[in-house]
Structures are given as C-alpha cells and as structure tokens.
Amino acid sequence: MAKRRRPTEQIEHDVLVACRRRCCLCYFLENDRRPRKGQLAHLDQNPSHSDAENLVYLCFDHHDEYDSTTRQAKGLTQREVRTWRDRLVAEFAAQAPTSDVPFAEDVATGVAEKRHSWRHAWRFPMWLTADQPELFAYSAPAADGICAIERIDLPDGRIAISCIQVPGNPGNSITNCAEYVCAQVCERFELDVTRLVWLENYEFFDKSEWKQVAFTIDDKGLPQDPAWTIMTAESWAALSLSPKARLTSTGGGDLRSKLKKHFPWPPSELILGLD
C-alpha cells in the first residue's frame, strides 16, 4: 500500500480556496451550491500523490462513494470527478478579480516577492484545455519571454509538456533558460517535476526537430542542468505521440496542438469552451 503523503499547507489552502469548500459533485449533479463539510480526496486514489492537480474537495458522502468499489452500479470515475472539479474551479476563477491572485517567491531566481506577468493566468489552468497549446509568459535572466505550452497526460501517468519557441518571442530562447521555464510551469500549474517529460521545439526553424530535455533535481526540488536529446521515431513511439509538420491555428486564432496523440485524446468532457 502506498505511503500517505499529506499535502503541504499551501497546497491544501489553494485547493480549498479554489473550490470555496464546495463539493463539485453536489454542485453539478445535485445542484447544491452550499459549502459542505468534507475532505480532500486523491483523484488517482494514491495517497502518496498529494500535489494539487491530484486533489479534489468532496463532501463525506461523495468521498465515501468515490473510494468505494461497486459490483453492479457504475461507480464514480476518476475522469468524471476530475471534470466536475475542473469546471467548478473554472467557474469560481472567472468570478475572482485579478488583484486576488497571490504573489510568491520566484522559484527560478529566488528573488522574494518579485512580481512577474506569468503569475497571472491569461486563461484557465492547462488541465482545462484539451489538444490545445497556450501562450505562456516566463521570467528569465536578461530578458523575459513567451513560448507556447501544451500539457498532455500520458497513458503511463507521466505528464508531457510541449514547449515551443514561437515567432516574435522578445526574450531569452527556451533553450537558454530551459530550467527557468520548466520551474515556472511546474510552479504555476502545481506539477510534479519528477513526472514530467519535457519536449522542446522551435517553430520558425527546424520545425520538425524536437528534443527531450532531461533535468537534474536540486535539494529544493527545482530542475537544473538541462541536457538535450534529439527525439527519434523510437522515442516518439515510447510516448505514444508523433509530431505534426507545423504549428497552426483555428479560425478564431487559438493554437492547435503540434503533437498527434496515439491514444484516446482529448476526452470530450475536457473541452469546455473558453470563449
């Protein structure tokens, strides 16, 4: 049995504030919009995975139901609960003024209370968008920049991050500050760096060349010492992914994914419509 790892006080605070102590299943399935007494549940039911993306606040009854095994009735699924959790967070996030977004220590530079534009979400967190990269503003030595980021949850439980250098980036390239971008993506979206597969691509030259970036992790849990390996057909197959020829956009200007998924993707319930 996996050893229980209690979430940090900050993660617990963020999850509770994001949902305002509403149980997402009561909220959407029973139209009960009241705060409920409840607990933090692990979406993958693994108590050792206590990062924010794996936690959901549920009332006692729904927590018991989610953790129970049923023989005949269809039980609550992880994807279903995650979808309602994400929709609830998105609904409350849309109501919150931007001035409420907290500032924290810059994990990449260690400069306390430094306020960067990347601290503010231009859209909803990445787990709410499917098959779609988002622009991401990052802080870097000498000059801050912008790249395109897409999150892909792989079948084996790892998280692939597609990091694309886009035309017009005014700052340092994604290669020259890979560890800074990675640290800020992990901090912004509360991702476990040890579960990441970091993929790097330049859209305006060598469009077809992708590299996987490996990091060492320092004693603070931050990525350091990036090392690049060119992606091959074999390494793509191991991820159940393959690259597309170029980055394109929809008629509305949203970016389309530059990676083809060779597994069921995107789940239809994750396409929420972000207009």
Q: What is the pLDDT of residues 113-125, one digit of tens each?
A: 333 434 444 555 5
What pTM did the predictor assign?
Answer: 0.57
Residue 73 counted as domain residue: yes
How far apart CA 230 and CA 210 sit, in angstroms, is: 6
Name the residue with higher pLDDT: 87 or 238: 238
pLDDT given at position 122: 57
pLDDT given at position 270: 46
Residues 159 and 266 in one domain: yes
Residue whose C-alpha is closest to residue 181's, from 140, 222, 220, 239: 140
Percentage of the chain lying above the pLDDT 70 cut: 80
Residues 262 and 185 in one domain: yes
Residues 161 and 224 in one domain: yes
Which value, in Å, is the radius of gyration of the alpha carbons in the chain?
A: 19
Residue 228 counted as domain residue: yes
Residues 197 and 264 in one domain: yes
Q: Quick one: pLDDT band at residue 131, thresholds 50, 70, 90?
A: confident
Cα angle 57, 60, 65 (rounded to 5 degrees) comes to 95
Number of domains present in the structure of the chain: 2
How far apart CA 130 and CA 151 sit, in angstroms, is: 8
Name the residue with higher pLDDT: 119 or 228: 228
How far apart CA 14 and CA 100 sit, in angstroms, is: 12
Residue 105 counted as domain residue: no
Residues 146 and 72 in one domain: no
- pLDDT at residue 179 above 90? yes
Percentage of the chain lying above the pLDDT 90 cut: 43
Residues 92 and 166 in one domain: no
Residue 109 counted as domain residue: no
Residues 231 and 131 in one domain: yes
pLDDT given at position 92: 79
Q: Which two tokens stand for residue 237?
A: 């197959």
Summarize pLDDT for 48-78 with one digit per residue, the tens.
888 888 899 999 999 999 988 766 567 899 9
| Domain boundaries, position 40 | 9-96
Residues 32 and 145 in one domain: no
